[in-house]
Structure 1
Amino acid sequence: MQISTEVYSCKSSTRVVVPLAGDVAANRFLLATANIGERNEIHLVEYNSHNKTVYSECIYKHDGQIFGLSPCPYNPELCFAIIGCDSDTKKGALYRLNNLPCTHASEEKEPESDNAQEAPKQAEVSGENGEKVEGAAKSVDEGDGKKEEKESVEEEESLADDKKNAVPVTQGPTELTLLCSAPRENVITAIWHPGNLEEGTLPHEMVIVYRTGYAGYQVTDEGELKELFFYPLTSPCTAAAWDPLHTHLLAIAEDCDVKVINISDNSVHAEMKRAHADTILCMEYNPNRPSTLCTGGKDGVVTVWHVSHRGLAVEKTLQAHTHWVTSVHFNPLHDQLLLTSSTDSGISVWRLFSVSSAHMREKQHEDKLVMTLGGARTSIYSTCWSAKNPWLYCGSSYEGKLLFGLVPGEEIAVLLDEI
């Protein structure tokens, strides 16, 4: 087990972390707190790979416990949030993130193996106003040593090297603008259109999956949700995933069962009864290999399925964790890597060549557990890959820590066919 050395800390509990999907120029994440009550926050957190520092760019105040976030991949200012006080009263709302700090186009491009060989430096950040970064000054490159000696310590600690000439970090909380609310309660997830839409040619579209049904929406220029269709479900939904390669297919978990629905006519494309021994909590399609679905459940098992009109066929089964599996994410560029998390406080990275888009390569590598990231004492409810750096990932623990990890250099060499 590798202990995370880059940690962002909040005083409040956290359940949700997602990449800022509409911004691929920086390693930026949205971290949501989960206080029972009205006082919660959404932190915009950035990880700087060059000097391995983590810091908060701004904090948005929010009323209500946050169970889910879904940033728009086409507009980083738009974000759908799932809020509520318990599992039966989750509501959904679309927000605009006001005063979102800009990412500068001049920022240096992240090399693929940028993080492979360097030993990580300790960096822990507090989520309070006036964020603190320990060890940031020590990690500044020697080439930046000609800075003014009288530069304030606060500025040195708040800004990473490639941000020294950028807009200063926003101090204190900023505002969220409520654009609209979902017309129904009991929201399970909200998924923006997963296809590669050409800018300006198609409207922003999303599917909102409720406990009792699912609906398609167009997001108007005014930020309203225009409902395109709604279909009820026969059993309560616990998780869902939209196929990015076949955008007419939506996978739904109904307790232990998996059903793949053709949303164009609400017909059942494929289904599997008792896919897991206990409730399915998470699922995701492979973005690079067609008809490949991954599921995780309360049984601690992760299963990779091949989906066809004949049904779901098991391709790989992992006894991945000792308790509930709370998230599964394929690496968006190197789908041989699968990121999982659990209420056993573990974050794991798996190499699954046999069920990846690279499985037909002449050089084959065995499937294995690449690494487990430690450092949390409580449940990990959410993980994600960076939208910029393909080797960077993070996970949020219920104790309020955002833990960062990097794929080991030797594993990167394997994936890039260097060994």
Structure 2
Amino acid sequence: MDLDEAPIIHGLELPSRCICAQSAETNITRFLVGTQSLRQENQIHYIEFDDENNVIDKTVFSHPFGEIWHLSANYNDSQLFTSCYQSYDDAKLSLSCIVGRLSLDENMKPNLTIPDGSNTNAAAKLEKILSIEVEDNATKLMAHWKPIEGENDLMVLSNTKMNLYDVERSSAALSSSYDLPLRKGHLCPITNGRWNPHHSGKVFAVATEQSVLGWDVRSNQKAFFIENAHGQLVRDIDFNPNKMYYVVTCGDDCQVRFWDTRNFEEPVQVLVDDHSHWVWSARFNPFHDQLVLSGGSDSKVILYNMKAISSEPYDQEVSSDGEYSDSSKSDDDEYVAEKSEMKDGVIGVYEEHEDSVYALEWSAADPWTFASLSYDGRFIINRVPKTVKYGILL
């Protein structure tokens, strides 16, 4: 294996379940990783990846509030994030959500303080800015920042509720709310959600039981509904960043499915037999949407090439001046051969994990870098193979 493609493995001391890319940082690859322990003090690991030297630099922020179930980084402020966590107080488990700030300098490096008269290690500061109100009986809680420049809208998902907040410096005002309707007389809890980055982010979609529902936050009405998107529970959903109306879903039926929300009677494509257990996460590459990741309870991370349904068709390539050309007419026979070898399907299966892979994310700064996290605290950075990278770029 090329050393540039060797995985970078970082082990956390505590069980872990959630990661997020530092979305507002577009120059350097950074991730936030949250731990999940009821007995020990939890942490947020601030991880920076140096792709030139193939090393990572980590800083640990103390998270004394509880075990972290979900993290989301703000798209406009590199220091701002949300943490949804569970705590145990007065013999009762409860879920809470905070907006926090990492203490970072102008170079996005952590500000460290050393206790007076102490030889202990320097500690990184985490500031709690405000708390988001959460219903008392919440059993599931997530928060997602709107991926639109200049906007600080925050969608908070709790049980069957979707609450949209306008977050300012030290306050959060509830803008609108939507409660999922009963289906066949029973509640349909939300398992996950995602903003649609198109149309100024006016649609937010949630996975609920076996279906997917899109909510128009402006009209406060249903935008689309994919009934029985999977044969079992839908675990995750993601929107194609470059091709409107296209989404990917995954679930407990071990499948990854692609949909067109304008015509959702049948999926556009279904990936079967690649995972042998529940698929917890699926992600489009934010730059090259033909690259798709999935991760599941079978401890696998799978990288797919899905060019046939991507924003760039097979028979056309975009030149540097934005004009389309027929790649089959290239004078570089070796280039044409390399292109022809890039078939749709599995590019690679990454099996460095030994426990369920609950989360994975692409870098917000580098199109070829992605991270995955398993419950045993193993955080791994991998990169798209060079042959695939150059096959897309050249």
- TM-score with structure 2 setting the length: 0.82
Partner of 2:331: none
Task: Summarize the alignment of residues 231-270 of structure 1 with structure 2, pairs less than 5 Å apart.
Answer: 231-234=178-181, 235-246=188-199, 247-270=201-224
Label 1:317 to 1:167 Cα distance change in 2 as closer, same or farther (>3 A).
closer
Partner of 2:383: 406
Give CA-to-partner distance per residue, 1:271-296, whole Å, 9 cap, x none: 12211011011111011100011111
8 Å Cα contact 2:166-2:173 kept in structure 1: yes
Residue 217 of structure 1: CA displacement? Answer: 1.0
Name the aligned partner's letter for residue 366 of structure 2: N
Structure 2 stretches of 5 or more lacking a match? 114-120, 182-187, 317-326, 328-339
Partner of 2:165: 217
User: 1-side partners of 2:14 and 2:343: how far apart?
Assistant: 41
User: 1-side partners of 2:212 and 2:315: how far apart?
Assistant: 30
Secondary structure, in 3 states, of the residue corresponding to 1:281? strand
Counterpart pick for 1:191 among 133, 138, 144? 144
Tell me the number of residue pairs that the alignment of Structure 1 and Structure 2 aligns.
347
Partner of 2:19: 17
Label 1:103 to 1:37 Cα distance change in 2 as closer, same or farther (>3 A).
same
Task: Summarize the alignment of residues 308-387 of structure 1 with structure 2, pairs less than 5 Å apart.
Answer: 308=262, 311=264, 313-319=266-272, 320-359=274-313, 361-362=315-316, 363=327, 365-387=342-364
8 Å Cα contact 1:61-1:174 kept in structure 2: no
Name the aligned partner's letter for residue 189 of structure 2: P
Partner of 2:107: 103
Name the aligned partner's letter for residue 245 of structure 1: H
Comparing 183-192 with 299-308, greater Cα deviation is found at 183-192
Secondary structure, in 3 states, of the residue corresponding to 1:338? strand
Partner of 1:111: none
Residue 57 of structure 1: CA displacement? Answer: 3.2
Residue 189 of structure 1: CA displacement? Answer: 2.4
User: 2-side partners of 1:168 and 1:175: how far apart?
Assistant: 7
8 Å Cα contact 1:38-1:63 kept in structure 2: no
8 Å Cα contact 1:59-1:172 kept in structure 2: no
Residue 61 of structure 1: CA displacement? Answer: 3.2
Partner of 1:126: none
User: 2-side partners of 1:4 and 1:211: how far apart?
Assistant: 40
Give CA-to-partner distance per residue, 1:371-415, whole Å, 9 cap, x none: 112221111111111111110111111111111111101001221
Query: Quick check: 1:173 aligned with 2:126?
Result: no
Task: With a CA cutoff of 8 Å and minimum separation of 6, indicate the structure with the bigger relative contact order.
Answer: 1
8 Å Cα contact 1:305-1:312 kept in structure 2: no
Give CA-to-partner distance per residue, 1:302-329, whole Å, 9 cap, x none: 1010012x54541111124111111111
Structure 1 stretches of 5 or more lacking a match? 105-165
Name the aligned partner's letter for residue 296 of structure 1: C
Secondary structure, in 3 states, of the residue corresponding to 1:305? strand
Label 1:62 to 1:231 Cα distance change in 2 as closer, same or farther (>3 A).
same
8 Å Cα contact 1:25-1:388 kept in structure 2: yes
- TM-score with structure 1 setting the length: 0.77
Residue 12 of structure 1: CA displacement? Answer: 0.9
Residue 239 of structure 1: CA displacement? Answer: 1.5
Name the aligned partner's letter for residue 253 of structure 1: A
User: 2-side partners of 1:288 and 1:268: how far apart?
Assistant: 23
Partner of 2:153: 205
Name the aligned partner's letter for residue 83 of structure 1: Y
Residue 174 of structure 1: CA displacement? Answer: 2.0
User: 2-side partners of 1:63 and 1:268: how far apart?
Assistant: 35
User: 1-side partners of 2:315 and 2:145: how far apart?
Assistant: 32
8 Å Cα contact 2:65-2:87 kept in structure 1: no
Partner of 2:185: none
Counterpart pick for 2:247 among 293, 313, 325? 293
Label 1:290 to 1:382 Cα distance change in 2 as closer, same or farther (>3 A).
same
Name the aligned partner's letter for residue 96 of structure 1: R
Partner of 1:182: 132
Partner of 2:225: 271
Task: Summarize the alignment of residues 35-184 of structure 1 with structure 2, pairs less than 5 Å apart.
Answer: 35-37=37-39, 39-84=41-86, 89-97=94-102, 99-103=103-107, 171-184=121-134
Residue 101 of structure 1: CA displacement? Answer: 4.5
Counterpart pick for 2:33 among 25, 31, 34? 31
Partner of 1:109: none
User: 2-side partners of 1:356 and 1:316: how far apart?
Assistant: 12
CA RMSD of aligned residues (A): 2.4
Name the aligned partner's letter for residue 347 of structure 1: V
Label 1:306 to 1:312 Cα distance change in 2 as closer, same or farther (>3 A).
farther
